[in-house]
Amino acid sequence: MKFSVFALAAAGASVLAGGASAQDWPARPVTMIVPYNPGGTTDILARLAADAIAAAIGQPVVVDNRPGAGGVVGATLAAGADNDGYTIFFGNNATNVVQPLINPAVMYDAVTSFDGIATTADAAVFIGVGSATGVTDLDGMVAYLNANSAKYGSAGVGSMGQFSTEYFLQQTGTQATHIPYQGSNNAVAAILSGEIEFMADPAVTRQIDSPMMNVIAVLSAERHPGYPSVPTAVEQGYDLSLTGWFGIFAPEGTDPAIIAAMSAPLADMVASEAYQEQVLTMGLLPNYRDAAATDAVVVDDTAVFTQIRDAAGISIN
Amino acid sequence: MIDNLLLGFQVALSAQTLMYCFIGVSIGMFIGVLPGVGPLAAISMLLPITYYITPTDALIMLSGIYYGAQYGGSVASILMRLPGTASSAVICLDGYEMTRNGRAGAALFLSAIASFIGGTIGIILMAGFAPALANFALRFGSQEYFLLMALGLVAASTLSEGSAVRGLAMVVLGVVIGIVGLDHTSGTMRFVYGQFELMDGVSLVASAMGLFGLSEILSNIGGRDRPLPTEKVSMRTMIPTRREFLDSLPAIWRGTAIGSFFGTLPGTGSTIASFFSYASEKKLSRNRARMGQGMVEGVAGPEAANNSAAQTAFIPTLTLGVPGDAVMALLLGAMIVHGVNPGPQMLQETPEMFWGLVASFWLGNLILLIFNLPMIGLWVGMLRIPYRVMYPAILVLVVIGTYSIRYSVFDIYQLLAFGVLGYILRVLAFPAAPLVLGLVLGPLMEENFRRSLMLADGHFTTFATRPISAVLLVAIIAILAVQIVLPLVSWLRRRGEAQV
């Protein structure tokens, strides 16, 4: 009885206080906008994060799928939402770095429209080469590219695969023609059929055992625990490191205390064994960055991707 | 082979697995009947629930939703001219006419039989020749895809009743509408006008439901509440006549062959298969002259095609790890989450999973058949509901279904716009089916055409120098020649006779 009187008083105080501040937050469920269809990689990760946040803040976190236009529909909606801590966004480096860089129709800004809460996983990019080329490592790849006019596939214009490959070509001083496909899977099929020679994409890991494709390198700092046989580019003497990531954001200007309250439980989640196991099964790498580090990775990646974009001339218009 | 199948049935026949198979196909059947709600939405919503059951059970259930939806999709097409899935749009043409002729029961019966035969043969192909078929499919590159689509469009002018010019005009309109959205080759936006919802192109489901379903409702507004002829539902009127049965058999074989082929090709699938099957019936069936007036071939062929395609679509997914469409990509994702690694090694590493799936697919098809036949009486009985009650209910379902695809109100506006367009086309006697085909094939054709040229460094000879594409090219030229030369010859002859 005593408790409920107290709760009532607290509720009254919060009504009097009016706007949203860290004291009365969360008074109602939080909405998490996910810019892709349910069931996909981003959605699965988003739901894990939503559950972890909900358990910590004592209010439900409702996932709201808003797919379309490569994630831009959901991201635009989230960027324009009230910054009261009741709307958050589960994005990735495509929605929060690449799209604002290549698509002039995108109205939000990568750096200033969102405040980072945390990242929960990284997506390592692997390079797969059709086995007909005889290429088995990066040295061989560079030699092949110098001797042949090769073609590479990607999941589309402005995809992570196109950026990664262009980055590789720029760093090694080689050239290849970009052939865009609709989605990674169609490009993988094109390598198996010999239509194109190579691609850089997380999806090629499914072909590690295939006799038709050689997976020759991973562009992350360390080898992927799920695919320990694939050496990193750095090991092979190429200073190439470029990873995708998945992260949670709040509209710009959200109270830092609210952001901290949602970031802390994600650190515990990413550290948990069950989460790590699940994320590795999906071919990803668990990786927590706190709010400041998430903001920093957006700034850093924006610089790197701007440079790649300008050198390769990647754009949607 | 026999050992493998025994292993498969051992897995699939355990009480628990059989239950999940039953749940899957029932849900699939149900969402197939509901207009607009497709297997993609249902599978993605159920995916999180499956984390708590074994991987095999989970995949058997989710796959059941996929092929079950193909069974259900034709019901609303036949009864209400309302395609439940895009792949059953073409079934509206003769299926709904059969209903208007009082043969709704027979149409539903034959569609269930055709589905079962198509599905079964698709499964046999999967069991016997999955790796070989997957490797055959890999021989189709961008050049072959382009020519296949071109062949489809050439054949599409026959989709219309009456004037081929009107059919062709509608194909072109479909291709033009298909241009809207992000051009995947150059990354250029076309006719998007700042609407991000249009970046992914015009919604196929909204267009099919608007053009067929909504236009039907619109054209009946203000009309008399004319009830459709309903037979007294008894076993006798439900079972097709001997003649109907004999006419539909060749259509089923042809449809199955077409469907099995397109199912294995990544990036095509059951919608294209059912349209191609209908086009081939317009050319090859005994009643080709009367197609569109309620001929069984127009139901049985496409229905066999989309069900066999739904089964053979698993071949590239399971044996290469390359999913052919969005639903297959989602199922592949589900397998990976469950720790199964589809690809060339799956047959060796997890044979019980592969053969369990194969066996469960057939059991699922059997359940669907047994489940469907007694339902026919119930479905046909729905025709007795007066329009003034039925149509508002359908409108609500159609709008919810369209919204559910990507939770977008914008798609509902698309649906309404296509409903109005469909009504105008009906009044002017332009056929809607070639428009939908143009919308499906146009973007695929353009993408593959431009990619072929990029791959060949701009040389148009690339279409003639590859063996499979050369054959397709000759086929297209032959069809065009027959369509142009034969009428020309007979016209010249008539002119000659007139002068004599």
Task: Among A183, A200, A218, give the residue marking a domain's end.
Answer: A218
Residue A274, in any domain of the structure = yes
Contact: B40, A177; criterion CB under 8 Å: no
Q: What is the pLDDT of residue B73?
A: 85
Taking a C-beta distance cutoff of 8 angstroms, is the pair B82, B211 a contact?
A: no
**Average confidence (pLDDT) per 10 residues, chain B, 500 residues:** 86 91 92 81 81 88 92 88 84 90 90 94 92 87 90 70 76 92 86 84 88 86 60 66 91 95 86 90 85 91 94 90 84 82 80 90 94 85 80 87 85 94 92 87 90 92 91 87 76 76
Residue A21, in any domain of the structure = no
d(CA A37, CA B43): 11
d(CA B201, CA A100): 20
Contact: A186, B140; criterion CB under 8 Å: no
Residue B347's H or E segment, with its range, is helix B346-349
Give the mutation candidate from B45, B180, B189, B320 for the A interface (greatest A CB count, under 10 A).
B320
Dump pLDDT digits (tens) for A221-258: 899 998 999 999 999 999 988 999 999 999 999 999 99
Residue A238, in any domain of the structure = no
Within 13 Å, how many C-alpha atoms sit on residue B364's CB side?
A: 37
The per-residue pLDDT of chain A, averaged, comes to: 89
Give the mutation candidate from A192, A201, A214 for the B interface (greatest B CB count, under 10 A).
A192
> What are the phi and psi torsion angles at A22 (to 5°)?
-60, -25
Residue B366, in any domain of the structure = yes
Query: DSSP of A104-134, one letter per residue?
Result: TT--S-TTTSEEEEEEEEEEE-EEEEEGGG-
Could you identify the residue written with the tokens 């299926």?
B95
Residue A32's H or E segment, with its range, is strand A30-34
Q: Are residues A253 and A114 in the same domain?
A: yes
Per-residue tokens: A131: 């086995």
Closest chain A residue to B326, measured at CA: A183
Dmax (CA) of chain B: 83
d(CA B459, CA A296): 47
Residue A144's CATH number: 3.40.190.10
d(CA B487, CA B471): 25
Per-residue tokens: A6: 């107290």
Q: What is the pLDDT of residue B369?
A: 93
Q: 3-class DSSP state for residue B270?
A: helix
Q: Are residues A111 and A61 in the same domain?
A: yes
Q: Say yes or no: B191 contacts chain A, CB-CB below 8 A.
A: no
Closest alpha carbon to B86 in B171, B205, B212, B262: B205
Residue B387, in any domain of the structure = yes
Helices and strands in chain B: count of H runs, count of E runs: 23, 2
Residue A75's CATH number: 3.40.190.150
Looking at the complex, report in whole angstroms how far the Cα of residue A65 sits from the nearest Cα belonging to chain B: 7
Q: 3-class DSSP state for residue A210?
A: coil
Q: Are residues A116 and A83 in the same domain?
A: yes
Residue B269, in any domain of the structure = yes
Count CB neighbours of A223 within 10 A. 15
Instruction: Compute chain B's Rg from CA coordinates.
Output: 22
Residue B433, in any domain of the structure = yes
What number is the average pLDDT over the span A167-181? 94
Closest alpha carbon to A225 in A149, A281, A167: A281
Q: What type of residue is A302?
A: T
Q: 3-class DSSP state for residue A148?
A: coil
Q: What type of residue is B473?
A: L
Contact: B187, A105; criterion CB under 8 Å: no
Taking a C-beta distance cutoff of 8 angstroms, is the pair A34, A74 a contact?
A: yes
Contact: B188, A189; criterion CB under 8 Å: no
Give the mutation candidate from A66, A73, A314 for the B interface (greatest B CB count, under 10 A).
A73
Could you identify the residue written with the tokens 């099957």?
B277
Q: Are residues A187 and A54 in the same domain?
A: no
Residue A15, in any domain of the structure = no
Q: Are residues A30 and A117 in the same domain?
A: yes
Q: Are residues A132 and A101 in the same domain?
A: no
Q: 3-class DSSP state for residue A135?
A: coil
What share of residues in chain B are helix, strand, coil (percent, to 5)? 80, 0, 20
Taking a C-beta distance cutoff of 8 angstroms, is the pair A118, A248 a contact?
A: yes
Instruction: List chain B residues with CB under 8 Å of A281.
Output: 336-337, 339
Q: What is the pLDDT of residue A6?
A: 45
Q: Would the CA dihedral through B380, B384, B390, B393 be positive or negative?
A: negative
Look at residue A295 and tell me whether its pLDDT is greater than 90: yes
Count CB neighbours of A115 within 10 A. 20
Could you identify the residue written with the tokens 């496409």?
B302
pTM of the model: 0.85
d(CA B6, CA B70): 27
Query: DSSP of B59-109, one letter per residue?
Result: HHHHHHHHHHHHHHHHHHHHHHS--SSGGGTTHHHHHHHHHHTT-HHHHHH
Q: What value of ipTM does the predicted structure carry?
A: 0.84
Closest chain A residue to B194, measured at CA: A105
- Nearby residues of A282 by Cβ (< 8 Å), 6 or more positions away: A41, A44, B336, B337
Q: Are residues A112 and A139 in the same domain?
A: no
Residue A16, in any domain of the structure = no
Q: Say yes or no: B337 contacts chain A, CB-CB below 8 A.
A: yes
Contact: A281, B329; criterion CB under 8 Å: no
Of A65, A156, A283, the CB nearest to B407: A65
d(CA B233, CA B226): 19
Per-residue tokens: A186: 């169609």
- b vs e for B391-407, b when ≥16 Cβ sit within 10 Å of the residue's Cβ? beebbebbbebbbbbbb
> Residue B374, class by beta-carbon neighbours within 10 Å (0-12 exposed, 13-18 middle, 19+ buried)?
exposed
Q: Are residues A294 and A148 in the same domain?
A: no
Give the mutation candidate from B196, B205, B403 for the A interface (greatest A CB count, under 10 A).
B196
Per-residue tokens: A59: 């209010």
Taking a C-beta distance cutoff of 8 angstroms, is the pair B169, B428 a contact?
A: no
Taking a C-beta distance cutoff of 8 angstroms, is the pair B67, B317 a contact?
A: no
Q: Which domain holds residue A198?
A: 126-218
Residue A69 confidence class, pLDDT cut points 50, 70, 90: confident
Q: Which domain holds residue B193?
A: 2-465
Per-residue tokens: A279: 């994320």
Dump pLDDT digits (tens) for A71-96: 898 999 999 999 999 999 999 999 99
Residue A305, in any domain of the structure = yes
Q: How many separate domains does chain B show?
A: 1
Q: What is the pLDDT of residue A234?
A: 94
Q: What is the pLDDT of residue B173?
A: 93
Q: What is the pLDDT of residue A115?
A: 95
Q: Are residues A118 and A30 in the same domain?
A: yes
> What are the phi and psi torsion angles at A78 (to 5°)?
-70, -40
Could you identify the residue written with the tokens 């025709």?
B383
Taking a C-beta distance cutoff of 8 angstroms, is the pair B263, B310 a contact?
A: yes
Q: How many separate domains does chain A show?
A: 2
d(CA B297, CA B94): 8
Contact: A151, B345; criterion CB under 8 Å: no
Q: Are residues A118 and A134 in the same domain?
A: no
Closest chain A residue to B450, measured at CA: A179
Dump pLDDT digits (tens) for A123-171: 999 999 999 999 999 999 999 999 999 999 999 898 999 999 999 999 9
Contact: A157, B187; criterion CB under 8 Å: yes
Closest alpha carbon to B109 in B229, B241, B212: B241
Instruction: List chain A residues with CB under 8 Å of B41.
Output: 38
